[in-house]
Structure 1
Amino acid sequence: MILYPAIDLKDGKAVRLLHGEMDSATVFNDSPAAQAAAFADAGSEWLHLVDLNGAFAGTPVNGAAVEAILAATNLPAQLGGGIRDMATIEMWLTKGIARVILGTVAVENPDLVREAARAFPGKVAVGIDARNGRVATKGWAEETDVMVTDLAKSFEDAGVAAIIYTDINRDGAMQGPNVEATAALAQATQIPVIASGGVSSLEDLIALRDTGVISGAISGRALYDGALDLSAALKALA
């Protein structure tokens, strides 16, 4: 199972939100590039980047910070937030992003996900963010009637590289991930599932790993707060 350290970008800085609320942002590093380099130095294999402003704006906002991260490290990075058309997908992949994450558009324009996955094999992931089993979009501001499992299964034949599943109620709350719901999703679909939201300890990571069906986990606040030691976590998962 791969651990993806998260760098959430707001106004050019590395922050964490609580329950996805933009007003509850805590700044952890004024230099996202320096943060990325620190994660690389600790032995990370991947980075998980989110353009928070972009998720609300519907178009990239923190592009300069993303490019600085790409320049500061050789690690592959996946990026979500404000990626809602083919031109933006192509732009980010050309700049060196290893995998784009399509969230809102996966609900509103699933054909774009299919087109992108065909055009860029292995480079398109779907971000499914949920409250109580239902998908939320537009930076978690809008809830839909779409069920998580239904959305995931609809992309099984599309060539999607991964599904990043976030339980919004757990995100940034340091209460542990929703292991049961994440494992159930992973068992219901053939697409690899990456857990996001609430990973706050080594025990959480081990619980996700021990399901045997979850391919990755994203952690942010716990790494910044020191509740999770990155080097120790990477060793435990190796």
Structure 2
Amino acid sequence: MEIFPAIDLLDSKAVRLTKGDKSSAKIYGNALDFAKYFEDCGAKWLHVIDLDGAFEGSPRNLNTIESIVNNTSLRVQVGGGIRTEETIINYMRTGATRTILGSIAVQDSEWCKNMALQYPIAISIDSKHGKVATHGWVEVSQIDALSFVKRFANSQIEAIICTDINQDGLLSGMNLRLTQEIACASNIFTIASGGFSNIKELDEIKKYSQIGGVIIGKAFYEGIVDFKNIKF
């Protein structure tokens, strides 16, 4: 199982939100310093979200992300406001390994599948009460998450990132049942996100055979999980 330490960027700083609420942002410090720490702990991947980009619809922290790529050996998957091919290309030029499409995937899933024929693409399935949310989780559609992910079955999409917004940032445990269902419906490498609570949960996640990875954010920043104690 692949472990993805997470950095959420707001005004170039590493922050965490609760349930995606921008007003709940808690600043933790310099993003590059955290990225280097994760690398020192043995991490191979880094999950980065440009929150400014997610809320505003276009990237706002490109320089910070480029700095992380250039100053670590981490493979970086990045998302937040990526809605054009030009933006995907710009991230590829920085050295990012994979770009994450969210809101645009709801608006135009065929375009996303076409992009995946040319670039390394992940799709973010962010759900609230089983319905897909977009635009920085501010808008909730009437699209069922399980039905939605089936659009990408048999495509070249590299990964699906499944987040239950109701769990995100609460440190109360992940919605692993939903993540497993998403993985089975798509047959694509699926990453669990939102609500990771403690190191013991890693053993629980491993019981779900279709889940390929997990994103860990707030549990680290709040001192509950030390990446030095995790085998990457």
| TM-score calculated relative to the size of structure 2 | 0.97
2:27 maps to 27
1:204 corresponds to which letter in structure 2?
E
2:104 maps to 105
1:203 corresponds to which letter in structure 2?
K
2:209 maps to 212
Find the aligned partners of 1:227 and 1:95 in 2 and give their Cα distance: 32
2:9 maps to 9
Find the aligned partners of 1:103 and 1:208 in 2 and give their Cα distance: 24
2:161 maps to 164
Instruction: State, as a whole percentage, how many aligned pairs show the same letter.
Output: 40
Contact 1:34 1:72 in 2 (8 A): no
2:86 maps to 87
Contact 1:186 1:214 in 2 (8 A): yes
Written as runs of structure 1 = structure 2, the 5 A alignment for 1:125-140 is 125-140=122-137
Q: Secondary structure at the match of 2:117?
A: helix
2:146 maps to 149
1:119 maps to 118
- 1:103-161 deviation digits (Å, cap 9, x = unpaired): 000001112211210112xx100001000111000000000011111111101122100
Compute the displacement of 1:231 (Å).
2.3
2:197 maps to 200
1:73 maps to 72
2:171 maps to 174
Find the aligned partners of 1:65 and 1:3 in 2 and give their Cα distance: 22
Q: Secondary structure at the match of 2:166?
A: helix
Q: Secondary structure at the match of 1:170?
A: coil
Following TM superposition, where does structure 1 have runs of at least 4 consecutive aligned residues deviating by more than 4 angstroms? none
Contact 2:153 2:185 in 1 (8 A): no
- 1:177-206 deviation digits (Å, cap 9, x = unpaired): 011111122222211110000012112222
Find the aligned partners of 1:36 and 1:144 in 2 and give their Cα distance: 34
Instruction: State the superposition RMSD in angstroms.
Output: 1.0
2:227 maps to 230
1:41 maps to 40
Q: Secondary structure at the match of 1:202?
A: coil
1:187 maps to 184
Find the aligned partners of 2:92 and 2:148 in 1 and give their Cα distance: 24
Gaps of 5+ in 1: none
Q: Count matched residues.
A: 232
Written as runs of structure 1 = structure 2, the 5 A alignment for 1:51-62 is 51-62=50-61
